[in-house]
Structures are given as structure tokens and as C-alpha cells.
Chain A
Amino acid sequence: MIELERVAYTYGGAELFADLSMTLAPGSFHFLTGPSGVGKTTLLKMCYGELIATSGMVRIFGQNSREMDRDQIALARRRIGVVHQDCQFQDHLPMAENVALPLTVCGRQEEADEYLSDLLAWVGLSDQAGQLPPQLSGGERQRAALARAVIMSPEVVIADEPTGNIDWEMSQRLLTLLVELNKMGKTVLVATHDLNLIRAAKTQVSARVLRLRGGQLQAAGAEL
């Protein structure tokens, strides 16, 4: 689905990592962990074409992201649902319309009428459909972001700190949603530094844990 091959990324002069490789096979479940500021969000952004690697190659659905034009990136993003660390909502639109946004921008709003209420019930937000994003709690926003990430039934789901703002119980629920998606065949990649969440996940699904530290990506083993 998505492959990183000897990827380097540099913000201005500061090199974040120099030689990273990673493969997300179809149907796999990956955690990405590591200290704050190490570059997890940056790595995820390369996976959905928001950032282009300084060197090395990122292949998104087999296409070299450096060679994709703006329309091709847009089309690829329709196949990748992303829960952004800062959610990224349209603050002037009610939550339900935000969730339906991926359908709206590709001219498939009619489908929203079909799925939306089921989807909101699934993330437990049926009563908040009409509220504007700033009126939602942090956890509600993150569940709404997850609903938006999956409304197009994407092949890949990428979640950046999806449990950053929420209590343990809600984290568990969100994790369960992600595991359900993986069981439906979606490829899942979750960045988090919540080790308890990873431990909880490992009882439900066979997840690989990648640790990013000092510019290196390592497979974390049994210590988790």
C-alpha cells in the first residue's frame, strides 16, 4: 500500500531522519511510537503526500509521491483516511458536514445521506451532528475525525495521536473502532506515545510496533 525506501526528511537545515524504510502491507496494523518531536507526524505526512521526502522514495499505492501531480495526490488521499493530530475541521460547518466532507469534495454527497447517521452512531456522536467543531469536546472531535477518516471506506487509515485528548475508557473505544476497521481489511497506521494503548491493542490484533528514535526506525519487541 505505502512504502518508504531510504527516506530522509529535513526541515530547513534540521535533518529529522536520514535513512528510513517502512512497508505497510495490505491489511496490516502498525503502531508508530517515539518521543515527542521525533518526527512521527512528519513521517505520516509523507505517507499521504502532504510532505515530499527530501531524498529517498515514498511509494503511495505504487506511485512515487515525488512524481505525482496535485490531482493524483488528491485522488490518493481519497483512498487514505487520516485522523490528523489537530483534527483539521472546517469550523464554520456543523460536525456532520465535516464528517461528510470527503464525499462532498468528490461530488458524492448523496452517499453521505446513506452512511452518515450509521457512522455517527458507530462513533457515538449522533446527538452532536449539528454542533460546530469548536463546540465539541476533545474526545468528540477525535471521534468525529475518525468518522471522517473512514467515510470514504478508504483502503488505508492513518491516525496521528487519536487518543491524545481523551480518557482511558474513550481511548479503548477508539482503539476498538480501529481494530474493527482492520478486521474489515483496512491497513491501519497509528502514531501514539500511549504505551498502554499499544499493550491493549496487542490483545485484540496482531500489530507491529515501530519505534522512531534518533532518526532510526526500529521494530519494538516483547518489552511492550
Chain B
Amino acid sequence: MSDWTSVLVGDPRADRMVPKTGFTVQLTVFSAAAMAFLAVFALALSLATERLADRWSAELARTSTLRISAPQDQIAAQTEAALRVLQTTPGVGSARALSDEEQIALLEPWFGPDLPVASLPIPRLIEIVETGDGFDATGLRARLQAEVPGAVLDDHTRWRAPLVAAADRLRSLGYISLALIGGATAAMITLAAQAALSANAQVIRVMRLVGATDAFIAGAFVRRFTLRAFAGAAFGAISGAAGIFFLPEADVAGGFLTGLGFEGLHWLWPLAIPPLAGFVAYVATRAAAFRRLREQS
């Protein structure tokens, strides 16, 4: 804990122990900024696909259709039977047979207004509105098969599932990218810290000789790299967030692109990137420093 406070508050005189090495410092700031910039987009992608997946599964899961295909004289009876079954099925909010007019309206775009519905063997459609988690499609199919031989349940899962799966996959890829960005940041900061530790071998030696503990020596480097990573990441995250904020407004119907970006409280997520980058730098530098100090006598 005291390590954290000394990193945050800092001690300018202790900080002077290690000479400023411009190059590694600039590299650290730059790579932290670049990684934070990328992280904002990976985050936006993940959150957008998450929203998309939620929306798709929510909208598509709400309704299903039951189709009764039977000889004309049995349709009415089977429809009755099917509605009875549905009324006693858990997860079904309401079930309603479409009227002739509604069915004609559905078919009209394809067959024109003069369709002789009455004389055609058109199946009867029952619209099911689900509640909560929906119903158990397999169980319902089994019951319908026994009681309503002409019923075909179309619960949309068939074509909903791949879409949602794709969105889930995309979201996972976004999170994997975030993890990789974090790992790459840690790797780069480790390399930069090791370069700084090597360049300052004599400085470290003198500190050891006058009684500095490993924690103190590591602290001088940790503080520097943590602050640089934080500053770089803050710059990168703000740039990335600004880039997303000023994305051209796509049409609402534009679907996916419209969704890329942050909504509401999700705008707070990019704010988490600089502290996270600082934390990654803290851990990476500390590990590198202690490893190096143990190797040097």
C-alpha cells in the first residue's frame, strides 16, 4: 500500500536518484498511448457487439410462430387443440390464431390482393408471444406431435442462434484483443524497464552501497514507468474516445456501424484504461526491477 502512495504522491528527491533517460521514457509514453488508443477501439467493439447480441436475442426470442398444416376440414379443430396446448405451456405469454384478413395481408406482397384464401389450402398461423426466458421448444414439440399432428413450431432459434453466436464470438475477440493489448503493453514496458535498469547499473550499485533496499531502488524505476505509462495511456485513451465520439452519425437502420461506440455509462470505460495501463506498468517494472536486482550481487 505504501508503494502505491509513494507512486501516487511521489518524492521528487528520491525520484532524482535515477537520471532521466529520455529515450526509454519516450518509448514508454508512446507505446502506452498507442496501446490505449487501440484498447479504446477493442473496448468499443466488444461493448457494441454485446449490445447487438443482446438486442438480437431479445427481439427474436419474443415471438415464435406455430403453423398448422392439415386437411381443410381439420384445421379449425387442430388450431383449437394447439391453442389449448399452448395455454398450458409454461413460458408462453399469449397465443393467438391469425385471422384470415391478417394472413391475407401477410401473403399479399407475394400473391396480390385477390387471393382466394378460402379455397386454398393455406396453413393457419398461430402467433406465440413468450414471457421471461421463453418456453422449452423441444418439450412443446413433443406435446404438439402427440396432440396436433399438423403443427410445425418455428421458434426462430434456427436462424437466431448463428447470429447471436457470431456476435458472441466477435465480442470474445474484442476481449481477447484487450487482453493481448494489455500483455503487449506489459512486454514493452518490461523491455523498456530492463533497458533503463541496465543503463543505470552503476547508479543502482551506488544506491546499494549506501544502504538502499531493493524496494527503494525498484521504487525509483516503478514510479517513473508507472507515471509515464499512465500519462501516455491517458493521452491515447482520450484520443481514441474522441475518435469514436466524432464518428459520423450513421442512419439508425445502418445497423452495426451505428452501434459502434459507447452508450451512456459505457463512456466511463475508456477512463479505466489509463489507471489499468499504470497498474500494468507498475507490476511489470516492479517484477523486472526485483529480478534484475537479485541477479546483480
Contacts and interface: CB of A to CB of B under 8 A. Distances in A.
B13 interface: yes
B17 A82 contact: no
A161 interface: no
Overall SS of chain B's interface: helix
A82 B210 CA distance: 8
B292 to A, nearest CB: 13
B207 interface: yes
B219 to A, nearest CB: 10
B275 to A, nearest CB: 26
A102 B215 CA distance: 15
A101 B213 contact: no
B13 A104 contact: yes
A30 interface: no
B206 interface: yes
Contacts of A84: 209
Contacts of B203: 90, 92
Contact of A74 (B11, B17, B19, B211): B211
A105 B216 CA distance: 7
Nearest to A78: B211
Interface string A100-129: 011011110100000000000000000000
A71 interface: yes
Interface residues of A, number: 24
B293 to A, nearest CB: 8
A92 B199 CA distance: 13
Given A50-B297, A88-B206, A90-B203, A105 B19 contact: no
B98 interface: no
A148 interface: yes
Nearest to A94: B16
Contacts of A184: none
A50 B206 CA distance: 12
A70 B206 contact: no
A75 interface: yes
Interface string B201-244: 00101111111111110000000000000000000000000000
A50 B16 CA distance: 24
Nearest to B216: A105
Nearest to B203: A90
B206 A71 contact: no
Interface of A: 50, 70-71, 74-75, 77-78, 82, 84, 88-90, 92-93, 97, 101-102, 104-107, 109, 148, 152
16 contacts: A70-B293, A71-B213, A71-B214, A78-B211, A84-B209, A88-B206, A88-B209, A89-B206, A90-B17, A92-B203, A104-B17, A105-B14, A105-B210, A105-B211, A105-B212, A109-B14
